[in-house]
A and B are shown apart, each in its own frame.
Chain A
Amino acid sequence: MTSPPQAEHKPSIRPADEARTLPSGEREFFMDVATSDLEVNMGPQHPATHGVMRVLLRTDGELVTGAQPHLGYLHRCAEKIGESVEWLQYLPYTDRYDYLSAMNNNLSYSLAVEALMPELEIPRRGTMIRMICAELNRIASHLVAFGTYGLDIGAFTPFFYAFREREWIQALFEKICGARLTYSYIRIGGVFNDTPPGWLQEVADFCDVFEEKWQEYYDLLIENHIFVQRTANVGVISEEMAYDFGLTGPMLRGSGVDFDLRRDMPYLEYGEAHDAGAFKVPIGTGEKGTVGDCWDRTQVRMVEMMESLGLVRWCLEQIEPGPVIGDVPRVIKVPPGEAYVGIENPRGELGHYMHSDGGKIATRCRVRAPSFVNLAVLEDLMPGTLLADSVAIIGSTDIVIGETDR
Chain B
Amino acid sequence: MDFQAIADHLSVAQVPGLLSVELPRSPDKETKDKGRSGLPYLCVEPSRIVEFLTFCRDDDALGFEVLVDLTASDPSADDENLWILIQLLSVRHRQRLGIKCLLPKSALSMPSSTKVYRAAQWHERECMEMYGVTFEDHPDPRNMLLPDDWVGYPMRKDYEFPKEYHGISCE
Could you list which residues of chain A lie within 8 angstroms of chain B, going by C-beta atoms? Answer: 71-72, 75, 77, 79-80, 83, 115-118, 243-246, 248, 252, 257, 259, 264-265, 335-340, 342, 349, 351, 353, 355, 357-358, 363-364, 366, 368, 372-373, 376, 380, 405-406
Contacts and interface: CB of A to CB of B under 8 A. Distances in A.
B6 interface: no
B145 A72 contact: yes
B38 interface: yes
A248 B89 CA distance: 11
A243 B155 contact: no
B77 to A, nearest CB: 11
6 contacts: A72-B143, A115-B39, A116-B38, A364-B74, A368-B68, A368-B69
Given A71-B144, A363-B75, A338 B38 contact: yes
Nearest to A118: B37
Interface SS, B side: loop
B122 A116 contact: no
Contacts of A246: 66-68, 117-119
A339 B37 contact: yes
Contact of A337 (B38, B91, B96, B121): B38
B167 interface: no
Nearest to B129: A72
Contact of A336 (B36, B145, B154): B36
A338 to B, nearest CB: 5
Contacts, number: 109
Nearest to A339: B38
B34 A244 contact: no
B37 A353 contact: no
Interface string B127-146: 00000000000000001111
Interface in B60-105: 65-69, 71, 73-76, 85, 87, 91, 94, 96, 98
B162 interface: no
Nearest to B147: A72
A72 B146 contact: yes
Interface in B14-57: 24, 27, 34-39, 41
Contact of B38 (A115, A264, A366, A380): A115
A406 B71 CA distance: 15
Contacts of A349: 68
Given A259-B91, A366-B69, A373 B119 contact: yes
